Amino acid sequence: MIKILHLSDVHLGSGFSHGRLNPVSGLNTRFEDFVRSLSCCIDRAIAEPVDLVLFGGDAFPDATPPPIVQEAFANQFRRLVDAGIPTVLLVGNHDQHSQGQGGASLCIYRTLGVPGFVVGDRLETHRIQTQNGPVQVITLPWLTRSTLLTRPETEGVSLADVNQLLISRLVVALEGEIRRLDADVPTVLLAHLMIDTAHYGAERFLAVGKGFTVPMSLLVRPCFDYVALGHVHKHQILCYQPPVVYPGSIERVDFGEEHEDKGFMLVEVERGQTRFQFCPLSVRSFRTLNVDLSGVEDPQSVLMQAIKPEVIQDAIVRLIYKIRADQLDHIDTAPLHQSLSTAHSYTIHPELVSQLARPRLPELGAGSGIAPLDALQAYLTSREDLKNIADAMREAAQSLLAADGEAWLNSLSEEDTSKDQVVVEDKGTQLRLL
């Protein structure tokens, strides 16, 4: 039996806007929160001790984190080196450097030859010797089109067909790895990807692009004793035989994860009979206080009552209240700030009911639950002046949703730059999954 700690989506260096400066350390308190959560994972790995640690990808928000962030990550993982625990660091989409020659932030661990460390930046099988015997780990990092396809292959091919082609290439490549496996040795697939049956919670709109969504059937194979996933921040178990598991992120990255438990997996892998459990981490709370004052007599007191000290204590709070313009004079913000002061951090968002803009396009109104691409279509239909670039915009949106926006932007820049160009704000990459 091989004991494994499986964690993912550390995103160290994210969420600074929810923190504040710690005057003692000079560091952002959210950075300290994330480091604390990571150190709890490492503590547990050493205390058990486990035979192997698997990291499912997305170490940092991007491939070029500031030195202090890299150092904090390295400081935690080096404790595993000291404890002699082999570790696999998988490359997620946030770890890949998309400009120039690419590369990944985690590759430095391979370059330095850190003892016992394996970097998974390609589809490959690693046979790792642990204190309790050998284990095979197939690493499947985040895939982009350029990983498996050449440019001529994708030229003039629709996005959907490209994705189909990508999946079929992946099937062949994975099959090649599977055929070379030793059937007597426990086997883990460690992959950073989006699975078609996963629940994305607040991030579900990401599935719209359908870009690199991998079918579950590809992973449910008897040769795997455990499928360790990364990418989706919401912890979930997608299959029990074999276990296919997203541990989720180790901290709440933003309000989209307000209601999600955070933690890591402890796994006992044995050929054909794997046991696993989710180990929750005690992470800082996010609290949204939603108050509609538009129909109340005494808005100030209703608002004050909504701020419950036991709820907001040490939490990251956002207070959202709806109010009529004529009620504004009845709100005194000083007591609000006073009672919110026990929160770790807070923001206040008044929304004027009378001034809430009526959507010009009814189908884009609040509560209509429209998918991003349909919303874009509705918008484009209403904009005759954008007709000439509508197709390009749809294609761009699909690319962005498929988390492959860079490739598309690169292809744009190679074309005639004097032509009308669509400027795409790459806000899509804020995505939590991502």
Return residues touching Mn ion (CB under 5 A): 58, 92-93, 231
192 vs 322, which CB is nearer to Mn ion? Answer: 192
Residue 36 is which amino acid?
R
Distance CA 67, CA 380 (A): 43
Taking CB positions, which residue lies at the least distance from Mn ion?
231
58 vs 404, which CB is nearer to Mn ion? Answer: 58
Question: In the complex, what is the shortest distance from the CB of residue 263 to Mn ion, in angstroms, rounded to a whole number?
Answer: 18
Distance CA 179, CA 187 (A): 12
93 vs 274, which CB is nearer to Mn ion? Answer: 93
Question: In the complex, what is the shortest distance from the CB of residue 201 to Mn ion, in angstroms, rounded to a whole number?
Answer: 14
33 vs 58, which CB is nearer to Mn ion? Answer: 58
Question: In the complex, what is the shortest distance from the CB of residue 230 to Mn ion, in angstroms, rounded to a whole number?
Answer: 6
Residues whose CB is less than 8 angstroms from the CB of residue 323 and which lie 6 or more positions away in sequence, other chains included: 293, 294, 299, 331, 350, 351, 352, 353
CB–CB of 238/247 below 8 Å?
Answer: no
Burial 239-256 (b: 16+ CB within 10 A, else e): eeebbbbbbbbbbbbbeb
CB–CB of 11/58 below 8 Å?
Answer: yes
87 vs 93, which CB is nearer to Mn ion? Answer: 93
Strand partners, 129: 134
Question: In the complex, what is the shortest distance from the CB of residue 161 to Mn ion, in angstroms, rounded to a whole number?
Answer: 24
CB–CB of 345/18 below 8 Å?
Answer: yes
Cis ω on the peptide bond leading into residue 49 (within 30° of 0)? yes
Question: With left for phi above 0 and alpha for psi between -120 and 50, is residue 151 left, alpha or beta?
Answer: alpha
Supply the Cα-derived Rg of the chain in whole angstroms: 24
Question: In the complex, what is the shortest distance from the CB of residue 193 to Mn ion, in angstroms, rounded to a whole number?
Answer: 9
29 vs 93, which CB is nearer to Mn ion? Answer: 93
Phi, psi at residue 117, to the nearest 5°? -100, 135
30 vs 231, which CB is nearer to Mn ion? Answer: 231
Question: In the complex, what is the shortest distance from the CB of residue 137 to Mn ion, in angstroms, rounded to a whole number?
Answer: 19
Best CA proximity match to 227, nearest among 200, 245, 248, 249: 245
Question: In the complex, what is the shortest distance from the CB of residue 423 to Mn ion, in angstroms, rounded to a whole number?
Answer: 25
CB atoms within 10 A of CB 113: 7
Residues whose CB is less than 8 angstroms from the CB of residue 114 and which lie 6 or more positions away in sequence, other chains included: 78, 81
28 vs 93, which CB is nearer to Mn ion? Answer: 93
Question: In the complex, what is the shortest distance from the CB of residue 209 to Mn ion, in angstroms, rounded to a whole number?
Answer: 14
Question: In the complex, what is the shortest distance from the CB of residue 232 to Mn ion, in angstroms, rounded to a whole number?
Answer: 8
Distance CA 335, CA 289 (A): 16
Task: Output DSSP code: residue 347.
Answer: E
80 vs 232, which CB is nearer to Mn ion? Answer: 232
